[in-house]
Amino acid sequence: MIRRSRIVGCGSYLPANVVTNQDLADRGVETSDEWIVQRTGIRSRHVAAEGELTSDLALAAARAALDHAGLDGAAIDCIVLATTTPDNTFPSTATKVQAALGMTRGFAMDVQAVCAGFVYALSVADSFIKSGQANRVLVIGAETFSRILDWKDRTTCVLFGDGAGAVVLEAGEGKGDAADRGVLSTHLHSDGRFYDLLYVDGGPSATQTTGHVRMHGQEIFRHAVSKLSSVVEEALVANGLEPSAIDWLVPHQANQRIIDGIARKLKLPTEKVVLTVDRHGNTSAASIPLALAEAVHDGRIKRGDLVLMEAIGGGLTWGSALARW
């Protein structure tokens, strides 16, 4: 028998304020609903209210995930929070959430892998469980990307949104094959040679400012399709599974065309792909747990289903995770 990280709860939170493509055009962004929908599939996104911080979004999602699992903060050994938009440069946003959940033991940390953040955080959490360092881990993806957008740059500001999602992992046992419940594998990659393809033009050490998102969209698009295809293949081969075994693809939600490209390669019908990009935009590290929570709570993802997650982000960083629900 081996230790496996079972996903025993999930939850999410979206800020109340919905901004449509037309709203952006009305506010002076030189764009149109037609352009954004055709190139990205995005129709609207949520934007955090003034004073609403990443930790607030994270806490709401964490509470929803704990409720779903029937647990409270005291039962959690560790928080791994993926974000690119922390409340402050330090301490970690995870420690703020830890205190707010009434968790006075264990440990909490942030993980930075931009849009691949949730897959990275899930992998870190799974490793803590497998090594016996923790029995229950709260994994959160939370972002207020609206705070680092240049609203005068139409090539980036139309793409992102704010939100948070969380899952609770709990140690269980399995036989070590693909029929086990829980996280079956995670595969992570990064290649810093592509640092300048998607970045923020500020930071505490470089400029002492927060900076704004800058992106070479077409090159990111090209890398996304090829790197995600190979990391998905890597996950399937490692588990001895064919694409036909996948019940649900829960991809990072950056662009409908990237998602369609991966689904086509896997020969997955669109009904098996969980999509939120139309209503959430790209919420970076929050996009996968937001999509997971939606598909679990509306009854699509059921016990025993095989769920494939994949994401790519600035760095470049990318990865996949395969889990049996």
Query: Where on the chain is the footprint of ligand ACO (CB under 6 A)?
Result: 31, 35-36, 39-40, 114-115, 154-155, 158, 198, 217-218, 220-221, 224, 254-255, 258, 282, 284, 312-314
Q: How far is the CB of 285 from ligand ACO (least distance, A)?
A: 9
Active site residue 280: no
Taking the complex as a whole, the smallest distance from the CB of residue 35 to ligand ACO amounts, in Å, to: 4
Peptide bond into 204 cis (omega under 30): no
Residue closer to ligand ACO (CB basis): 119 or 129: 119
Report the alpha-carbon distance of residue 217 to residue 35 in Å, rounded.
15
Closer to ligand ACO by CB, 107 or 151: give it: 151
Q: Verify whether residue 115 is a known catalytic residue.
A: yes
Q: Toward ligand ACO, which CB reaches closer, 35 or 151?
A: 35
CB of 174 to ligand ACO, least distance (A): 32
Closest CB 213 distance from ligand ACO, rounded Å: 8
Q: Which is nearer to ligand ACO, 159 or 169 (CB)?
A: 159
Q: Closest approach of Cβ 121 to ligand ACO, in Å?
A: 15
Residues 6+ apart with CB under 8 A from 101: 59, 62, 63, 66, 72, 73, 76, 79, 138
Annotated active-site residue 252? The verdict is yes
Tell me which of 46, 187, 212, 252 is the catalytic residue: 252
* CB nearer ligand ACO, residue 218 or residue 244: 218
Q: Closer to ligand ACO by CB, 155 or 270: give it.
A: 155
- Tell me the C-alpha distance between 325 and 306, whole Å: 6
Written in H, E and C, the secondary structure of the chain is CEEEEEEEEEEEECCCCEEEHHHHHHCCCCCCHHHHHHHHCCCEEECCCCCCCHHHHHHHHHHHHHHHHCCCHHHCCEEEEECCCCCCCCCCHHHHHHHHCCCCCCEEEEECCHHHHHHHHHHHHHHHHHHCCCCEEEEEEEEEHHHHCCCCCHHHHCCECEEEEEEEEEEEEECCCCCCCEEEEEEEEECHHHHHHEEECCCCCCCCCCCCEEECHHHHHHHHHHHHHHHHHHHHHHCCCCHHHCCEEEECCCCHHHHHHHHHHCCCCHHHECCCHHHHCECHHHHHHHHHHHHHHCCCCCCCCEEEEEEEECCCEEEEEEEEC
Minimum distance from CB of 151 to ligand ACO (Å)?
11
Q: Which of 115, 212, 255, 280 is catalytic?
A: 115
> Which residues carry out catalysis?
115, 252, 282
